[in-house]
Amino acid sequence: MPFIEITDSAPEQGIRAAATRGMTDSLCQAFAIKPEIVTCYYNSSPDYSYGHAGKHGKLAEKFRIFIKVHAFPRDSEAKATAARLMTDAVAAAYETDPTSIVIYFIDRAPQDAFHAGMPSA
């Protein structure tokens, strides 16, 4: 923990490698954690399988990269720092405009996280 879920449009692996490094470094800096506990999971959303504002596919606005950070609770300042750093890293890796990147933080209580069947708390 934390886990980062990224929904993108299945770019080539070099882009994901750069994004993984950048997001991990960003989260470690903002949350004062070690990279060994950060995991990234990528979910691909093929071209034109995206809908926004009631429009789908080619009619929808630009495709957004959607990122969810599942982590133990942090204050809003740490989350804001992480969001800024992660947005910059992802924009650079994907060579995209930062306005196409959305990041949500999903707080997980330590007693709700289990690793190898054992509680984290």
Any idea where the domains of the chain sit in the sequence?
A: 3-119
pLDDT, position 115: 86
Q: Is the pTM of this model over 0.85?
A: yes
Quickly name the fold that domain 3-119 has. Macrophage Migration Inhibitory Factor (3.30.429)
Tokens of 98: 């930062």
Return d(Cα 116, Cα 48) in angstroms, integer.
38
| pLDDT (average), residues 78-86 | 99
Residue type (1 letter), 54: G
- Of residues 4 and 11, more confidently modeled: 4
Residue 101: DSSP 8-state: E
CA angle, 102 as apex, 38 and 68 as ends, to 5°?
A: 35
Task: Evaluate if residue 68 carries a pLDDT over 90.
Answer: yes
Return d(Cα 16, Cα 20) in angstroms, integer.
6
pLDDT, position 30: 98
CA dihedral 110, 105, 93, 7 (to 10 degrees): 100
Give Cβ neighbours of residue 17 (< 8 Å, ≥ 6 apart). Answer: none
